[in-house]
């Protein structure tokens, strides 16, 4: 199926993106220029080849005729000279093509490497709000598919366009030199091939678009049914799922059959018109030879040139679609590279470590008139103020959407405030570098995150220089040491996020051990015990209290039974602090917290 028939994604700003892509490619202009010069030289040599072949054919035909008439016969010396010249031409052309391909691959891989490097660096400078609106699949597609599209097509499209233009001009010049009359006839017929191809493309375009649309629906249905196969089986939805898939599959078959059928008409249509051109050229050329106005070798050369003349025209049509696809991919990549970055770091940041590498942070945390909204027009945290002394255990509770997790994200400077200030040790958090600030925090999230690697590597994630004994001690505190010992390879067992032999609760325990090991000044526990059973929860609750002793800790929990011993409980509702106190005093008030607490224990 010719690529020119496939519908391609088009860039929103074609010219602007193309300019940016050209600017981005400037470091490779010298290599690209060398590649194009070599490619043009090779093409010109190949264009001249058929002309020499025609002369050899003429010499051979005239020699045979001369021999038949009793003359000198075939001039093998002249023919030999032509053959040697052709060998040199085609040999040199092949060598030049080798260097062209070498430079093309080098440029493509260099562009690919640079794009991926720049995106990787950019990702680390993007604010968290960018990832809130961008899915992982979309980002992966830009880093892989779109970058590959640019790298693979950048050099090939430029060389194909120039190669096609050189071929069209060069071949047309050779055709005119051989016979202006035959050239005019060929030029009158060639457009018919383009018209026929355009008609087929126009007719097939809607079927290709329908094919792509239905294919997306099929993929979506399969992914949805596969990811939710337990729910599908639970609700006996198998038959309806199969029925829906069958309908989509039949629609896909119908669209694919029609689009492929019309696509396959392309070659017969263009082939018929091309062969018709050859027949007319042969007939007219035969009359020219008989009349003595042309040599027989010229006809052979002319037919070769007519065949070559059609190829770059078709190639140009295909390249235009490739360029559209490439520029669309570049636009998606540049959207990432042009995204607004995080607020720059302080020029003279506050130091958090002494010369020996020990932390200088005590753990004071102050919220002063904090205002924040993911959307500036929809403020979530309206006017929050709070002072937390070092070593205090602060629990943050409230209904879903009250702003609990948002508050600790602001504390770690994942987002910039809309108003107010947050202080750590009485210094504005904006006066610290983000890296230094976050180095003082330990965090355990509701969703346990593990990467591909050993148990030991996963626990050592927050403290790369930790000794084995420190790791073992952290795991004992998290009550996960015994479980790790039961694994096939103990601490050297390779796990990943998809490890089937480890439960969600056990994964959570590993992430808690990771927090123990880091030994942070400020600890954040966001629903840290939500994925463990009641017995395991009680075990880690004791170790959590030991961990939090002497450290400032923020605990976010829906299960209010886990935060009875908190020094301070902050009750949030729709971004406002509605109550503050300890467990007993808040229950005594019989207010918002009491209603939340009692609702969890009502029968």
Q: What is the 3-state secondary structure (H, E, C) of 60-96?
A: HHHHHHHHHCCCCCCCHHHHHHHHHHHHHHHHHHHHH
Tell me how far apart the 2 most distant CA atoms of the chain are, in Å. 129
The residue among 153, 279, 262 whose CA lies nearest residue 206 is: 262
Chain position carrying tokens 């069958």: 246
Q: How high is the pLDDT of residue 223?
A: 74
- The answer to whether the CB of 422 falls within 8 A of the CB of 428 is yes
What ranges make up the beta strands (E) of 297-399? Answer: 365-372, 381-388, 393-397
395 and 300 within one domain = no
Whether the model clears a pTM of 0.95, i.e. scores above it, the answer is no
330 and 412 within one domain = no
Helix (H) or strand (E) holding 550: none
Q: How far apart are alpha carbons 217 and 14 in whole angstroms? A: 28
370 and 416 within one domain = yes
Q: How high is the pLDDT of residue 347?
A: 85
Chain position carrying tokens 């990811």: 227
Sheet holding 441-444, edge to edge: 441-444, 522-526, 552-556, 393-397, 568-573, 576-581
Residue 277 falls inside a structural domain: no
Residue 349 falls inside a structural domain: no
- Helix 14-24 to helix 296-337 angle (10° resolution) is 90
42 and 83 within one domain = yes
Residues of the chain with pLDDT under 70: 1-11, 70, 137, 190-205, 208-209, 212, 262-263, 265-267, 269-271, 274, 314, 317-318, 321, 402, 496-501, 527-537, 539-540, 542-543, 561, 575, 601-603
Q: How far apart are alpha carbons 32 and 345 in whole angstroms? A: 39
Task: Calculate the CA 512 to chain-centre distance.
Answer: 32
CB atoms within 10 A of CB 387: 12
**pLDDT digits over 116-172, tens only?**
899 888 888 888 888 878 777 678 878 888 888 888 888 788 888 888 888 888 988
Residue 481 falls inside a structural domain: yes
Residue 123 falls inside a structural domain: yes
Residue 113 falls inside a structural domain: yes
Q: How far apart are alpha carbons 170 and 51 in whole angstroms? A: 12
- Please give the structure tokens belonging to residue 178: 């051989």
Can you count the helices (H) and strands (E) in the chain? 20, 12
The total number of structural domains in the chain stands at: 2
Residue 245 falls inside a structural domain: no
- Residue range(s) defining the domain that contains residue 400: 365-599
- Please give the structure tokens belonging to residue 573: 């509702």
SS3 content of the chain, % helix, strand, coil (to 5): 65, 10, 25
Cβ-Cβ contacts under 8 Å for 356 (sequence gap 6 or more):
none
Residue 414 falls inside a structural domain: yes
Helix (H) or strand (E) holding 120: helix 76-125
Q: How high is the pLDDT of residue 41?
A: 92
- List 419's β-bridge partners, or say none: 371
319 and 434 within one domain = no
173 and 102 within one domain = yes
- The answer to whether the CB of 44 falls within 8 A of the CB of 162 is no
448 and 587 within one domain = yes
Q: How high is the pLDDT of residue 4?
A: 43
Half-sphere exposure of 420 (CA within 13 A, CB side): 22
390 and 325 within one domain = no
Report helix, strand or coil for 447. Answer: coil
Helix (H) or strand (E) holding 581: strand 576-581
Report helix, strand or coil for 465. Answer: coil
331 and 369 within one domain = no
Q: How far apart are alpha carbons 222 and 301 in whole angstroms? A: 56
Q: How far apart are alpha carbons 36 and 13 in whole angstroms? A: 27
Exposed/middle/buried for 265, CB within 10 Å: 0-12, 13-18, 19+? middle
Half-sphere exposure of 245 (CA within 13 A, CB side): 14
CB atoms within 10 A of CB 365: 21
Q: How far apart are alpha carbons 570 and 445 in whole angstroms? A: 19
Strands 576-581 and 568-573: what pairing? antiparallel
Q: How far apart are alpha carbons 51 and 304 in whole angstroms? A: 9
Q: How far apart are alpha carbons 508 and 486 in whole angstroms? A: 17
Residue 518 falls inside a structural domain: yes
- Please give the structure tokens belonging to residue 451: 């990467």
325 and 463 within one domain = no
437 and 318 within one domain = no
Chain position carrying tokens 């605990």: 555
CB atoms within 10 A of CB 176: 14
Report helix, strand or coil for 236. Answer: coil
Cβ-Cβ contacts under 8 Å for 338 (sequence gap 6 or more):
none
Task: Provide the CATH number for the domain around residue 565.
Answer: 3.40.50.300
Cβ-Cβ contacts under 8 Å for 394 (sequence gap 6 or more):
388, 552, 553, 554, 555, 566, 567, 568, 569, 570
Q: Is the dihedral of CA 5, 9, 13, 14 positive or negative?
A: negative
**pLDDT digits over 42-78, tens only?**
989 988 988 888 888 888 888 887 777 767 777 888 8
- The answer to whether the CB of 207 falls within 8 A of the CB of 281 is no
Task: Provide the CATH number for the domain around residue 170.
Answer: 1.20.1560.10
372 and 321 within one domain = no
Report helix, strand or coil for 424. Answer: strand
* C-alpha pair distances (Å), 16 with each of 150, 332, 367, 580, 584: 16, 13, 45, 55, 64
């Amino acid at each position: 199926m010719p690529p020119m028939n496939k519908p391609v994604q088009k860039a929103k700003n074609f010219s602007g993106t193309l300019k940016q892509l050209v600017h981005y490619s400037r470091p490779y202009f010298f290599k690209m220029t060398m590649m194009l010069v070599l490619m043009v030289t090779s093409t010109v040599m190949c264009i001249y080849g058929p002309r020499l072949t025609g002369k050899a054919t003429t010499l051979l035909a005239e020699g045979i005729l001369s021999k038949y008439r009793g003359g000198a016969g075939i001039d093998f010396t002249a023919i030999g000279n032509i053959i040697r010249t052709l060998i040199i031409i085609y040999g040199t052309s092949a060598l030049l093509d080798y260097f062209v391909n070498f430079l093309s691959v080098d440029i493509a891989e260099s562009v690919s490497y640079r794009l991926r490097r720049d995106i990787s660096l950019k990702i680390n400078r993007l604010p968290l709000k960018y990832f809130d609106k961008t899915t992982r699949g979309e980002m992966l597609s830009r880093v892989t598919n779109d970058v590959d599209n640019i790298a693979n097509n950048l050099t090939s499209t430029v060389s194909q366009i120039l190669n096609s233009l050189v071929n069209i001009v060069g071949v047309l010049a050779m055709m005119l030199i051989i016979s202006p009359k035959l050239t005019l006839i060929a030029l009158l017929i060639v457009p018919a091939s383009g018209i026929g191809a355009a008609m087929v493309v126009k007719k097939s375009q809607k079927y290709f678009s329908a094919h792509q649309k239905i294919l997306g629906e099929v993929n979506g249905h399969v992914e949805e049914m596969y990811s939710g196969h337990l729910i599908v089986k639970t609700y006996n939805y198998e038959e309806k799922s199969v029925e829906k898939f069958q309908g989509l599959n039949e629609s896909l078959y119908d669209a694919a059959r029609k689009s492929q059928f019309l696509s396959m008409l392309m070659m017969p249509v263009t082939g018929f018109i091309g062969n018709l051109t050859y027949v007319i050229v042969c007939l007219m050329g035969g009359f020219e030879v008989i009349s003595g106005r042309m040599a027989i070798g010229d006809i052979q050369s002319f037919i070769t040139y007519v065949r070559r003349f059609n190829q770059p025209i078709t190639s140009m049509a295909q390249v235009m679609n490739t360029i559209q696809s490439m520029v669309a991919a570049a636009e998606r990549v540049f959207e990432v590279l042009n995204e607004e970055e995080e607020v720059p770091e302080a020029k003279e940041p506050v130091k958090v470590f002494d010369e020996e590498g020990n932390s200088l942070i005590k753990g004071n945390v102050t919220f002063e008139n904090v205002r924040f909204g993911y959307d500036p027009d929809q403020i979530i945290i309206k006017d929050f103020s709070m002072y937390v002394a070092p070593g205090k255990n602060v629990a943050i509770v409230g209904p879903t959407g009250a702003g609990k997790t948002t508050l600790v994200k602001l504390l770690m400077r994942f987002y910039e405030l809309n108003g107010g200030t947050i202080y750590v040790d009485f210094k504005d958090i904006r006066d610290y570098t983000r890296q230094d600030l976050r180095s003082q925090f330990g965090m355990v999230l509701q969703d346990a995150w593990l990467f591909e690697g050993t148990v030991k590597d996963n626990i050592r994630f927050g403290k790369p220089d930790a000794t084995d004994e420190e790791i073992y001690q952290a795991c004992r505190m998290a009550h996960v040491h015994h479980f790790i010992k039961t694994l096939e390879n103990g601490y050297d067992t390779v796990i990943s996020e998809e490890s089937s032999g480890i439960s969600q609760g056990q994964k959570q325990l590993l992430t808690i051990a990771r927090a123990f090991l880091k030994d942070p000044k400020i600890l954040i526990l966001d629903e840290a015990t939500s994925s463990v059973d009641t017995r395991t929860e009680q075990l880690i609750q004791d170790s959590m209290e030991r961990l939090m002793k002497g450290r400032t800790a923020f605990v976010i929990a829906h299960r209010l039974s886990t935060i009875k011993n908190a020094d301070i409980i902050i009750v949030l509702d729709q971004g406002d602090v509605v109550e503050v106190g300890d467990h007993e005093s808040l229950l005594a008030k019989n207010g918002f917290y009491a209603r939340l607490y009692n609702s969890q224990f009502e029968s």
